[in-house]
């Protein structure tokens, strides 16, 4: 019996960041416009097939949670607004695991009870 992979939660903010990163790669001449169109299509396909699951939160809900996190932690952790917004989305989705490569975002995620992955070497 095959086990099915669990869908990955995708906030509207993360969706924008991924799509923008592909476009930025064209600007930096890392990929061609044709390659960008292809990866955009593959990304959309992953959403349509359910590998990525858009999170159903309103902008007001996200910003309210982000403001709470900012008030509670930014002065001590030094988080940027986008970091706070990503963690706010994860909290609203009641996720337990949070993917990040950013140290400050990792610290915030841990403070609010998320388990950041991947773990840093050391």
Q: What confidence score (pLDDT) does residue 2 get?
A: 53
What predicted TM-score, i.e. pTM, was given to this entire model?
0.80
Mean pLDDT on 100-104:
91
Show me where the domains of the chain are located.
9-54, 59-117
What's the pLDDT tens digit per position in 16-41?
999 999 999 999 999 999 999 999 99
> How many other C-beta atoms are found inside a 10 Å radius of the C-beta of residue 106?
22
Alpha helix (H) residue ranges in the chain = 12-27, 33-48, 59-69, 75-77, 81-92, 103-111
* Percentage of residues of the chain with pLDDT beyond 70: 95
**Pairing status of strand 8-10 against strand 52-54:** parallel
Q: What confidence score (pLDDT) does residue 87 get?
A: 96
Mean pLDDT on 34-57:
95
């Amino acid at each position: 019996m095959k086990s099915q992979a669990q869908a990955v939660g995708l906030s509207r903010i993360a969706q924008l960041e991924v799509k923008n990163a592909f476009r930025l790669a064209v600007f930096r001449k890392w990929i061609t416009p044709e390659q960008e169109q292809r990866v955009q299509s593959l990304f959309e396909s992953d959403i349509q097939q359910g590998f990525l699951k858009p999170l159903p939160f309103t902008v007001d809900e996200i910003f309210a949670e982000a403001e709470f996190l900012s008030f509670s932690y930014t002065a001590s952790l030094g988080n940027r607004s986008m970091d706070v917004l990503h963690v706010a989305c994860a909290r609203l989705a009641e996720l337990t695991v949070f993917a990040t490569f950013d140290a400050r975002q990792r610290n915030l995620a841990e403070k609010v009870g998320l388990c950041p992955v991947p773990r840093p070497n050391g």
